[in-house]
Amino acid sequence: MDQDRADRIQMIRDSASAVIPADGNVARVRALRFGERDFDPAIWRDMAALGWPALLVAEDAGGIGLGMGEYAALAEVLGRGLVPEPFVSVAAIAPVLDDPDRSAVLDGERIVLPALDGEVVEREGRLSGRCPGVLSARAAEGFLVGVGDTLWSVDAANVSVESAETQDGRNIATITLADAPGRRTAGDAMTIERLTLGLAAELLGVAGCAFDLTLDYLRTRQQFGRAIGSFQALQHRCADLLVQIELARAAIGAAAQAFDAGQDRNAIRQAVSRAKARAADTAMLVTRQGIQMHGGIGFADESDIGLYLRRAMVLVNQGGSAGWHRKRYGTLMAA
């Protein structure tokens, strides 16, 4: 990576301080859990003012025109802060939205979310079917629906949203379309690959912060007259976790590079599947081990480490489970 791009990515990471407290306080996240709203609309408007939803949108379309490396870097930082606002989802689909949807989304005036996993059919511009697993759907004014390799924009007023609470205190919904009018967009099936890589980067951020919380606890918790982090068995466990985090980071970086270098679709899909499988497994491993190394307090809701496990549990199957992506990776390699 050239120095100019490295500096730009660091600036983007630093901009996250606008919504993530410097001391790592997650009081805002706790206050929003299991409430009437999944996220704070005012914070979302601040994100729009910073240009985050426009990150991947071309400059001639009103965006910033940056690459997947920058997108993944910001997704990782927001994952570290457990930020509930839908940056990863919205930024991934913003490049394929048509005006006036795109302009309203980039201005923070409208929320359009992806509903790309489901069985939907289209007849003469009208869509019917179901799309499960849509996070924060109750806040959306519109959805981007996948129909085979095509994408369609649908207003939320024309669909039925059936929501349930998630482990991390947000909502997840199944979107039902019954002859709903839609507008075909210019996007294709690669849109879901961008979204999946963003989810992998967010999971990396969750794992990274959970690891740091665990290290801090091991340095301060006293047992037998010394910090438990001085015990070799725990040091070895932490070393193993760090290796897995860095392997996931490398896989995500390689996938972002495949996008930005314009590699062929199969190469990008392979890289994305490798990244998502590693990030999902790593996030679950690190958060579970973190709770164990926190001891009894790790199982209490008052302990922040539990928030990271809950977020990982929600994200791990979004965009395809680790097992599904390992299978797809093998299929693509054999092709």
Per-residue pLDDT tens over the stretch 9-24: 888 888 888 889 888 8
Task: Encode 224-243: b = buried (16+ Cβ within 10 Å), e = exposed.
Answer: eeeebbeeeebeebbeebee
Per-residue confidence in pLDDT tens, the chain, 335 aa: 678 888 888 888 888 888 898 888 999 999 999 999 999 999 999 999 999 999 999 999 999 999 999 999 999 999 999 999 999 999 999 999 998 889 999 999 999 999 998 899 999 999 999 999 999 999 999 999 999 889 999 999 999 999 999 999 999 999 999 999 999 998 777 899 999 999 999 999 999 999 999 999 999 988 888 888 778 899 999 999 999 999 999 999 999 999 999 999 999 999 999 999 999 999 999 999 999 999 989 999 999 999 999 999 999 999 999 999 999 999 999 87
Strand 142-147 with 112-115, pairing: parallel
Cα–Cα distance for residue pair 305/140, rounded to 1 Å:
29
Pick 1-110's CATH classification: 1.10.540.10, 3.40.50.720, 1.10.10.60, 2.60.40.10. Answer: 1.10.540.10
Domain boundaries, the chain: 1-110, 111-188, 190-334
Point out which residues pair with 187 in neighbouring strands: none
In this structure, what are the phi and psi dihedrals at residue 227, rounded to the nearest 5 degrees? -65, 135
Point out which residues pair with 131 in neighbouring strands: 175
pLDDT at 229: 78
1-110 and 190-334 agree in CATH topology: no
Q: Is the separation of the CB atoms in 130 and 177 below 8 Å?
A: yes
pLDDT at 149: 86
Length of the chain: 335
Residue 256, Ramachandran bin (φ over 0: left; ψ between -120 and 50: alpha; else beta): alpha
Tokens 């099936």 found at:
189
Cα–Cα distance for residue pair 210/289, rounded to 1 Å:
9
User: Residue 310 half-sphere exposure, CB side, CA atoms within 13 Å?
Assistant: 23
Point out which residues pair with 184 in neighbouring strands: 152
* Domain at 190-334: CATH architecture: Up-down Bundle (1.20)
Per-residue pLDDT tens digits for 43-80: 999 999 999 999 999 999 999 999 999 999 999 999 99
Sheet holding 126-135, edge to edge: 119-123, 126-135, 171-181, 160-165
Helices (H), the chain: 3-15, 27-32, 41-49, 68-80, 87-93, 101-106, 190-220, 232-260, 265-294, 305-315, 322-334
Can you read off the two tokens belonging to residue 210? 């959970």
pLDDT at 201: 98
| CA distance readout (Å), 209 to 119, 129, 203, 298, 316 | 36, 38, 10, 15, 16
Cα–Cα distance for residue pair 93/54, rounded to 1 Å:
10
Pick 111-188's CATH classification: 2.60.120.10, 3.30.990.10, 2.40.110.10, 2.40.128.20. Answer: 2.40.110.10
In this structure, what are the phi and psi dihedrals at residue 67, rounded to the nearest 5 degrees? -110, -175
